[in-house]
Amino acid sequence: MEHRLPRAVLWDMDGTLIDSANYHWITWRDSLAELGFALTPEIFRSWFGSRNDRILRQMFPDMPDNEVKRVGDLKEARYRALVRKDGIELLPGVRMWLERLHEAGWRQAVASSAPPANIDVLIEVLGLADVLQAAVSAEEVPQGKPAPDVFLRAAARLGVDPDRSVVVEDAAVGVEAGRRGGMRTIGIAGPHGPLDADVVVASMTELPQDAFDRLVPAD
């Protein structure tokens, strides 16, 4: 019997699978307003995608740990409530690729800076449990992106070597994290600047049909 080495696709979430920036904007704006901080779109864009503790430490260096946790938890609870209330859609081409890769035997995971509860809600609302075998949050690892920790943890959870894994990302720090982890990378070009990925496209709908196989050929 022929045995092939497994291959994996590790998906970032915000900006890659979905676009929930507006939900994050609303919930950060409202949560910070309660602290007397008037969030602007420019400030929001400068740190969008970072871990909550890092965001809050930048703006409130002297904030106690328990307050950092309280504000972050409040913001994320509001975010999940919005997702459940108003729903959310996968970005163009994403569901087709998720299903195609699943049928071809690729193992797939979400590897995101989002809190675990957010990832769980999005997988539930989007109906992705059948095509994803794992989900890893940056909160579960020592360092967030651009450190490769979250992608290395996701690959390990799938039982796939890093050099047999492809990271799909929309942010430069995420692409860097994948490269630092020894993985191949696909970049979804957007508002975050140029991406130094192996393959860069404007949308998953533009990705060549053999893109993943060329990056990690079947062994």
Q: What is the pLDDT along the chain (219 residues), one digit of tens a residue?
A: 446 899 999 999 999 999 998 999 999 999 999 999 999 999 998 887 677 888 899 889 999 999 999 999 999 999 999 999 999 999 999 999 999 999 999 999 999 988 899 999 999 999 999 999 999 998 899 998 899 999 999 999 999 999 999 999 998 999 999 999 999 999 999 766 689 999 999 999 999 999 999 999 998
Cα separation, 115 vs 136, whole angstroms:
9
Q: What is the pLDDT of residue 114?
A: 86
Q: Is 133 exposed, middle or buried (0-12, 13-18, 19+ CB in 10 A)?
A: middle
Please give the sequence-ordered ranges of beta strands (E in DSSP) within the chain, or none if there are none.
Answer: 8-11, 107-112, 134-137, 165-169, 184-188, 199-201
Cα separation, 180 vs 201, whole angstroms:
21
The pair of structure tokens assigned to 29 is: 């704006």
Q: Give the CATH number of domain 8-18+90-215.
A: 3.40.50.1000
Contact status, residue 106 vs residue 217, Cβ threshold 8 Å:
no
Q: What is the pLDDT of residue 1?
A: 42
pTM exceeds 0.85, yes or no? yes
Write the CA distances from 122 to 150, 173, 181, 203, 218, integer angstroms: 18, 22, 26, 20, 30
